[in-house]
Structure 1
Amino acid sequence: MRMPLLAGLSLLLLSAAVAAAPATVSAVNMPAWLERASQARPLLPGQVLQSGDLLRTGQGGRVLLSLPEGSQIKLGEAAVFRVDKLNAEDGRRSPFTTAVDVLKGAFRFTTALVAKARQREIDVRVATITAGIRGTDLWGKADEERDLVCLLEGRIAVSHEGDGGFQEMNEPLSFFVAPKGKPALPLAKVEAEKVDKEWAPQTELQAGRGVSRTDGKWRLVVASAADQDETLRWYDSLRAAGYAAKVKPIGTHAYRVSLEQLASEADAQALGEQLKATLGTPLSQVLPMAK
């Protein structure tokens, strides 16, 4: 009985470690990068974030982050996002707390219905705007012209640097905007159709266009070579461009370069076409991960 008991304890400890992850990358539309300790690497599904991490997305990039208390953060293309602090609470007994900076680009914060009653203390800084979240759904963006936060559901408190004080927002579809280099404007309302058709799609994953997920089961082989230098050239160029390439020996004297965990066959095919067009990769072979 000793070995099954030890195995059971190990599984319990592993489950606890997974549950305690403060923020996890659930899905990625590449290209995207993680910068940690001044080193950049391609962002992978399943990666656990730490305080101080910086995420970047490239053209067409998207990222989906899962938080332990049941919320999600979505990032759009050409985004720069920094995690200032995190804890690993699930919001049941004590609040999940985090502070993040949206330095550039679009983001969305959403909470699952079953998790709305959990405790959370989240501060989101969108360039010059700070929003304090206690349980809500909001969308925001920082670009060259303005910083904006739109409340979709719940309530938030917002402030603009230099203006002093916080404003409460509790009306759905109200938004707070600050033109660059100018004072914030009065609260205004936006049409639901504009949110649904123009704003929200900027942060949604592009299904069928190269999404990789923690449970993805498809592989894209983009290069195969007997020469190690050629193999490493493709590996390095893909990773520098924000694609999480992997190298594996095949046979005795050959190697393949691939991208893994793609969500569907269509995602793998679309990514293969994209990489051929942008980086000139020699292959676009789609395989189930089991092969």
Structure 2
Amino acid sequence: MKKLKLANTSLFLQSILYIFLSSTINAAGIHLEAMQMPAWLERNGEVSALKPGLKLQAGDRIVTGGTGRVLLRIDESGFLKLGEDAHLDMDTLRSPVESDGALNAIFKVSRGALRFTAEDSVFRHKIILHIGNIMATIRGKNTDIWGSAKTKNDTLCLIEGEIAVQSGNDPEYIMDTKKSYYSVSREKHEHAVKSLPELKLTNWMSLTDLESGSGVLVVNGGWAINLMSLAGKMNAKNIMQSMTSAGYPVEIESIDVQGQGMYRLRINGFKSKDDASAFADNFEGVGLIERPWVAPL
């Protein structure tokens, strides 16, 4: 009887440990909190439209289009924003269980603008950012940086905190002066550190901010746009695949219209009615979409 009780206790403790470890991984993971379309996920050789709620994995690549922007949440203590026409690679991602209680992540931006913020005093994760030819190591809490990778030069701006930066074979440089930036010329292979005027910093930060009222999708967004309704499931599926390939997370919903089964194409999860309306207005008359309409979820 005692052995049975011990066995049951052991199983119970294992179950509790499993639940704890799983919740720890999920809590300290990196997920897509909000976005503007179009944007894509490249994973294991396959390309699909990005969708809020996605959890990132090692080897993932996020690509944004001409109006696309992305907000990634790093547990409850930090976030990463990606601007339009950008490429972000998740080179390494290890959970707290695998890496002494801290999340290890290496982000590589080969094109476009990025902003990284460790906004909480309890932030203790290990983050390395590659912005073009610049490598930045996050050294502490309450760190806020902005960077961009372009054809001719790469830039990293320290908004707040302290970071270590390095480019090529140059020695590591400690940045601890607020509103200063480190710039590297790809043509001349030279770098410079300068102070940044407030207006220029504001303009730079706007390149990575989501634009409320302009088609923002969020986790558990309460609005949708209906694009069209079709009688043929195969036609609906083909159009859906075409639109997801173009970076729009279109879904199919089975509906009944006056006793006839139909298939409706829609995009769910808009942050507000204004976001959904703005996106619907831009999509009106595009391809086979004649008059998309907004609906609450």
Q: Specify if TM > 0.5.
A: yes
- By how many angstroms is 1:17 displaced? 6.2
How do 1:235-274 and structure 2 match up within 5 A? 235-251=240-256, 252-274=260-282
Matched residue SS, 1:219: strand
1:22 aligned to 13, 21, 29, which one?
29
- By how many angstroms is 1:183 displaced? 2.0
Q: Aligned partner of 1:228: which letter?
A: K
Given that residues 150 and 175 in structure 1 are in contact (C-alpha distance below 8 angstroms), is that contact kept between their aligned partners in structure 2? yes
CA distance in 1, matches of 2:267, 2:171: 48
Q: Aligned partner of 2:181: which letter?
A: F
Given that residues 26 and 214 in structure 1 are in contact (C-alpha distance below 8 angstroms), is that contact kept between their aligned partners in structure 2? yes
| More displaced 10-residue stretch of structure 1: 269-278 or 46-55 | 269-278
Aligned residues: 277
Once the two structures are superposed, residues 44-102 of structure 1 have per-residue CA deviations (whole angstroms, 9 ceiling, x without a partner) of 10000000000000011100000125110000000000001112339xx7332211101
Matched residue SS, 1:266: helix
Gaps of at least 5 residues in structure 2 are 1-11
* 1:56 corresponds to 2:63: yes
Given that residues 221 and 256 in structure 1 are in contact (C-alpha distance below 8 angstroms), is that contact kept between their aligned partners in structure 2? yes
Question: Counterpart of 1:201?
Answer: 206
CA distance in 1, matches of 2:165, 2:76: 22
1:129 aligned to 134, 141, 144, which one?
134
CA distance in 1, matches of 2:196, 2:123: 28
Once the two structures are superposed, residues 21-40 of structure 1 have per-residue CA deviations (whole angstroms, 9 ceiling, x without a partner) of 52100001010000000100
Q: Aligned partner of 2:250: which letter?
A: A
Matched residue SS, 1:242: coil
How do 1:163-202 and structure 2 match up within 5 A? 163-196=169-202, 198-202=203-207
CA distance in 2, matches of 1:99, 1:118: 16
- By how many angstroms is 1:283 displaced? 3.1
* 1:138 corresponds to 2:145: yes
- By how many angstroms is 1:15 displaced? 7.7
Gaps of at least 5 residues in structure 1 are none
CA distance in 2, matches of 1:18, 1:85: 15
CA distance in 1, matches of 2:236, 2:68: 25
Given that residues 121 and 133 in structure 1 are in contact (C-alpha distance below 8 angstroms), is that contact kept between their aligned partners in structure 2? yes
* 1:118 corresponds to 2:123: yes
Question: Counterpart of 2:8?
Answer: none
CA distance in 2, matches of 1:84, 1:62: 20
Matched residue SS, 2:170: coil
Given that residues 120 and 134 in structure 1 are in contact (C-alpha distance below 8 angstroms), is that contact kept between their aligned partners in structure 2? no
CA distance in 1, matches of 2:28, 2:239: 33
**TM-score between both structures, scaled by the size of structure 2:** 0.87
CA distance in 2, matches of 1:288, 1:203: 28
Given that residues 25 and 95 in structure 2 are in contact (C-alpha distance below 8 angstroms), is that contact kept between their aligned partners in structure 1? no
**TM-score between both structures, scaled by the size of structure 1:** 0.88
Once the two structures are superposed, residues 145-183 of structure 1 have per-residue CA deviations (whole angstroms, 9 ceiling, x without a partner) of 21110000001111111x332100000011111112322
- By how many angstroms is 1:278 displaced? 4.6
Question: Counterpart of 1:224?
Answer: 229
Given that residues 36 and 210 in structure 2 are in contact (C-alpha distance below 8 angstroms), is that contact kept between their aligned partners in structure 1? yes
| More displaced 10-residue stretch of structure 1: 221-230 or 199-208 | 221-230
